[in-house]
Structure 1
């Protein structure tokens, strides 16, 4: 048996030759940061990709900073609670805490694994103190009901932020600020970085100021702020990734559909709806009552598998004192969800090994 270890993922970024034209432009411009021409071009091209105005798109240094800046930019009351699902990566909670909010953890819908407006409405009634903002998470790149969240924001007057870190391919423009990660592990990578998108010009302008020491058009700082601007080098990688996006999306679809077939061959049918067909994501997950056994079995066969979000935010020591409601669905998801290996150019031999290992370990006696 092949004893080469299969990793959970292998990031795929534009190669040197692809980047050279953009790097030469940086050399010629001698402009390396501070909203340079490549950052502006990336914003313009992504605005065209999403069919929004350029003023609706902002490039930033990373998604955690972008979430914090979004909370600042909607002028949610600092010191209040920020309602969010416990079923998320810890960056969601860190982003709220670092700009003065207390994470308030709630459960998610059992089918979508996401926070829903109905759950949020019910959670507001049980909050121990005022809720000043809500962060919604797109679980592993899956879409959320964008229009319903815009309606929730309008009805309650509570600002909503969507953490769409892995959801580049499912984002829908709207008045709710949405953050997409461009980390090296994502399907649309810039090495590191993020995009904040919102059809409210004022929110994006405020975010641009907040990401630049409070400056906008002059050098007078007028608000709490930080430095979260994307560098020209990361913008160069993002532009090269955008050049390749149509072809790379097709390659992601192929890789994901091969992994879906591997799961089906093992009798594991709980594949995320639409993944590999209507959208792509770099972190495919499945649910199985035998998740722990599967992870151990795969690892014994030299195949990395893991629980991306462990037990959710509430399971981490950094957040064991924050307020939360009962989390039965989150606990069930933590016990049954596992991430499988997948990357853009995964080879047939690796797929075959994963399929054989899944089939061998899927149904323990």
Structure 2
């Protein structure tokens, strides 16, 4: 009987975007600036939707959820990468890697589901405007949000548990800047059949279903817009979808680019570089996409900045008092 001499490793090595020492300072500065921009931008969107009563609608409720998820999504991977560059280390513990896998799968799938829910919200708003507040009531919004979070939590737990069953050889090097589940699984020394089945089944259910919902919603939206007689009415209806459609296109195009690059890649770091687009750049750009074309968001942000500017002189005068 053949025995397998596998050793359960206590840590992995993340090779990052590039192994060239001269580029590490540039990579650190670039990723730090993108991370801070993503966190600040999404935090401002949340602050605007919470503080402005005009934005207490289903559309902005789900937008604030998306912004919170984007903050968590980038915080799952980027801080560890920045720490490793700063300390000249590539190591991540076994427990830290499993934790990254859990939260990465949690937030990437939740991002996907929220985009589908937001597409449904736009479908109801354009195709059934008179019944919009009746259909998209507070109870339904809370239920959709709760079901999404629970579904993603169970999915991440399942993926983490099947990953825990794997055995890894010593000195495992991951050509990525975080513990990307698919790459880690295929570096295992033990059989990965169960993991592959779980990944592809989940991708089929939690990937294809939201995409199908988005396509269906927008097909109905386009049909409704075409029926509108006036050009101004068509523009007004379509303008409410532009921001969401831009975010959807950016998210799925960059995600598709990652899988295409991994299939055709010759350089082991190419998949990691492609992943930057959907894991860092997309969350960073989402607040700009939603705020630049949205007058209500811009008005709410202007109100916040005006309050801050007014209060700052009072704070500085108070500090000068003996």
TM-score scaled to structure 2, two decimals?
Answer: 0.24
TM-score scaled to structure 1, two decimals?
Answer: 0.22
Radius of gyration: which is bigger?
A: 2
**More helix by percentage:** 2
**More strand by percentage:** 1
Which of structures 1 and 2 has the larger relative contact order (alpha carbons within 8 angstroms, sep 6+)? 2
